[in-house]
Chain A
Amino acid sequence: MKIFKIVLLAALIAAAVWLWTIVFPSPERVIRHHLAALAGDVSFQPHENAFFLAARSKNAAGFFTTNCEIIIDVPGRVERTLRRDEIARDLVAAHSEVAALTVQFLDVNVVLDAGKQSAVADLTVRARVPGWKDDAVQEMRFTFQKIGGRWLITRAAPLRSLS
């Protein structure tokens, strides 16, 4: 009976800790969640509803600050710098250019500054498009800033893996 009480107490404590992390997530967890949501918003499957695609594209732009800078450099494929107002427009354009797009953010490493008001997330972007010979992979650095209680991306730039 005593063991049962101890196990029950441990389970209750674990549940309380888990609930606490859900209700009050750490900044790192929030940033990871944002990145996962962003990857989901920019990915699309063939024959998806255009209305939902447009809504998701607009939603993706919402993860960035108004004066953000996004540098995309996939050797031999895409090389451009985007602003926030161009994100949704380019994503909608991408829907008509390629049949499908799957974006994954892998090996995310988040480092917060001392004041926990800005953060840097280094990650590997893997983009898969049907018809491409292989996946496009690129190491990228996302710079986040906490603005109005929200973590927004101020800059996204590629990191050169090979110099």
Chain B
Amino acid sequence: MDTHRPGPRSSVRLRAAVFGRNWKFTLARVAIWVVLVIGFFRFVVLPVRVSGISMLPTCPNHSINFINRLAYIRHGPQRFDIVAVRLDPRPASPGFFQAPPHVLYFKRIIGLPGETVAFSNGRLIINGKETYEPYENFAKYPCFWDDSDVTDGSNQYYVVGDNRTMPAEDHQHGRCLRSQIIGKAML
């Protein structure tokens, strides 16, 4: 009867497969990968879990999304971008290499710097003109918000959630500083 028993050669192969030919290099490679992955998911693509209903139906409660922190390196935030907004409004606090905060607002930009934003019977009014919002389905999700004119400063963006069926006073929306915007949602 011919049986195959693992000999010294196969144990060497197994060790080489697990630890590599040189365990020191393998350890260094693992350390570099760990640093790269942590850095990537902290400073480049930030995974977030949506908590709350203010971005319904676009982003359901408890859904997972990713924030591209490099999205606005070449250009500024655009209208209708979904962005993550830092709660801390102090202009001096943010910095790219600062660790991202634990809690962020997840909102959509509707007003750009210098624009005047208002809501009239649920419709978005920008600079006095009604603006079509392609992501809103008012037939299915009616909105009756009435908010008076708010003019963005030169460094401010007006952000709001997509869920306009909830009362406006329960829905956090308004102007944020450019420095509060961490990045753009990827999904």
Contacts and interface: CB of A to CB of B under 8 A. Distances in A.
A75 B89 contact: no
B59 to A, nearest CB: 12
B172 A162 contact: yes
A122 B52 contact: no
A47 interface: no
Given A75-B170, A134-B61, A161 B51 contact: no
B53 A126 contact: no
A80 interface: no
Interface string B92-104: 0100000001110
- Interface footprint category on A: 10 to 19
B75 interface: no
B181 to A, nearest CB: 12
Given A76-B169, A161-B180, A134 B90 contact: no
Interface in A136-157: 137-139
Contact of A139 (B52, B53, B87, B159): B87
Contact of A160 (B51, B89, B156): B89
A48 interface: no
B83 to A, nearest CB: 12
A124 B174 contact: no
Contacts of B178: none
A106 B87 CA distance: 11
Interface in A34-72: none
Instruction: Specify which of B53, B93, B102, B169 lies most central, judged by the most chain A CB atoms within 10 Å of its CB.
Output: B102
B102 A107 contact: yes
Given A159-B89, A161-B85, A124 B101 contact: yes
A163 interface: yes
B51 A106 contact: no
Given A134-B52, A139-B87, A161-B85, A106 B102 contact: yes
Nearest to A77: B170
Contact of B176 (A106, A126, A135, A161): A161
A81 interface: no
A161 B89 contact: yes
Given A75-B172, A161-B85, A134 B51 contact: yes
B159 to A, nearest CB: 7
A109 interface: yes
Contacts of B89: 139, 159-163
A135 B52 contact: yes
B108 interface: no
A163 B90 CA distance: 12
Given A124-B87, A134-B61, A135-B52, A162 B103 contact: no
Contacts of B156: 163
Contact of A163 (B85, B93, B171, B175): B175
B51 A163 contact: no
A2 interface: no
Interface of B: 51-53, 61, 85-90, 93, 101-103, 105, 156, 159, 167, 169-176, 180
17 contacts: A75-B171, A76-B167, A106-B101, A109-B93, A124-B88, A133-B61, A134-B51, A134-B53, A137-B87, A159-B89, A161-B87, A161-B172, A162-B85, A162-B105, A162-B176, A163-B156, A163-B175
